[in-house]
């Protein structure tokens, strides 16, 4: 375990930049989900208000991920080499966000969506492990 922690701290700047790139990818992917998952008919059945709220929330989640990714990419060296109270709080807040998202991967989504479907099971676990890793990277930066 100590070797993993030592490796993480030694490569924290690169890990932060990797997470930044992955968050950018997730932001783009999240905007494409309705098309990828063939949700058009489901979205069209929503009431106008629910559909509009869904669309705005989707855009703002993507925008939030882009902002976090850009901030992380731009300030990764400072977050690691010369952390400030603000950078620690930012990393802590983002880490808490991803930690909660990690927990919700198990507690909110019904297993009926993925259990017994190999491709969805792989995606479920990939997201869980990914969000947990992002949580760990931001936590490491917060407590650096």
Q: Which of 103, 68, 78, 87 is nearest to 143 (CA)?
A: 87
pLDDT (0 to 100) of residue 4: 67
Angle subtended by helix axes 118-142 and 2-10, to nearest 10: 70
> Is the sign of the CA dihedral 103, 15, 124, 49 positive or negative?
positive
pLDDT (0 to 100) of residue 2: 65
pLDDT (0 to 100) of residue 10: 84
Query: Does 98 have pLDDT greater than 80?
Result: yes
**Total of domains in the chain:** 1
Q: Which pairs with CB-CB distance under 8 Å and at least 24 residues apart come from 136-140?
A: 136/8, 136/95, 137/8, 137/12, 137/15, 137/16, 137/19, 137/95, 138/16, 138/19, 138/91, 138/92, 138/94, 138/95, 138/98, 139/91, 139/92, 139/95, 139/99, 140/8, 140/9, 140/12, 140/15
What is the average per-residue pLDDT within 91-98? 98
pLDDT in tens, 29-86: 999 999 999 999 999 999 999 999 999 999 999 999 999 999 999 999 999 999 999 9
pLDDT band for position 118 (50/70/90)? Answer: very high
pLDDT in tens, 13-43: 999 999 999 999 999 999 999 999 999 999 9
Six-digit token pair at 58? 């989707």
Parent domain of 129: 2-142
pLDDT (0 to 100) of residue 5: 59
């Amino acid at each position: 375990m100590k070797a993993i922690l030592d490796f993480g701290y030694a490569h924290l700047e690169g890990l932060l930049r990797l997470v930044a790139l992955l968050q950018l990818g997730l932001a783009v992917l999240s905007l494409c989900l309705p098309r990828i998952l063939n949700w058009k008919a489901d979205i069209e059945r929503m009431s106008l208000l629910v559909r509009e709220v869904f669309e705005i929330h989707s855009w703002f989640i993507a925008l939030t991920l882009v902002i976090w990714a850009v901030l992380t990419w731009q300030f990764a060296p400072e977050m690691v080499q010369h952390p400030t109270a603000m950078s620690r709080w930012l990393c802590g807040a983002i880490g808490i966000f991803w930690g909660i998202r990690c927990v919700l991967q198990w507690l909110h989504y019904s297993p009926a969506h993925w259990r017994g479907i190999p491709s969805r099971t792989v995606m479920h676990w990939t997201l869980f492990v990914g969000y947990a890793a992002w949580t760990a990277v931001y936590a490491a930066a917060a407590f650096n």
